[in-house]
Amino acid sequence: MELANIEKLLKKYLNAETSIAEENTLKEYFLSDNVAPHLQEYEALFSYFAVSKQERYTKTIQLKSQKRNWKWLSVAASVVLLFSVYSGYNSYQKKRANEIYAQSMEQFALLSQNLNKGTMALNHLQHLESTTNKIFKQPKEN
């Protein structure tokens, strides 16, 4: 291999512009015994990649399983749901009672107004009766 070609490939490699085939060419060159002295610093990099590719981790990895206790979660959700339904029902009952109270007050006000009209009419009739009694001189009956 030409040294100039290797230097060009190395510059492309350092700029992350090489293809897989070009990287394999560089790897073969730096793993061989005839590396140019001014490129010996890159030999450690490519030999590290070759060695690390062969390494295997043999210990078992203990993963902590994060099991959630779904029973408690469902019980808590049920309690929250029941509490919200209960409080919603109470607020609905209060609102309904207030509406009924307001309707009753309107009905009583209308009844009171009509009774007051009747009382005023009776007052006029009583005044008319007392006037006619004065005119015809009839004694009052109690």
pLDDT tens digit string along 14-53?
888 888 888 888 888 888 878 888 888 888 787 877 777 7
Domain that holds residue 116: 95-142
Over range 67-92, report the average pLDDT: 88
Global confidence as pTM: 0.39
Is 43 in contact with 35 (CB distance < 8 Å)? Answer: yes
Is residue 70 in a domain? Answer: no
Is residue 35 in a domain? Answer: yes
What string of DSSP letters covers 8-23?
HHHHHHHTT---HHHH
Is residue 46 in a domain? Answer: yes
Q: Which of 50, 42, 48, 31 is nearest to 7 (CA)?
A: 42
Is residue 141 in a domain? Answer: yes
Is residue 66 in a domain? Answer: no
The beta-carbon contacts of 35-41 under 8 Å, at least 24 apart in sequence, are 36/3, 36/6, 39/6, 39/7, 39/10
Say how many domains are in the chain.
2
Task: Tell the burial category of 10 from Cβ atoms under 10 Å away from its Cβ (0-12, 13-18, 19+).
Answer: middle
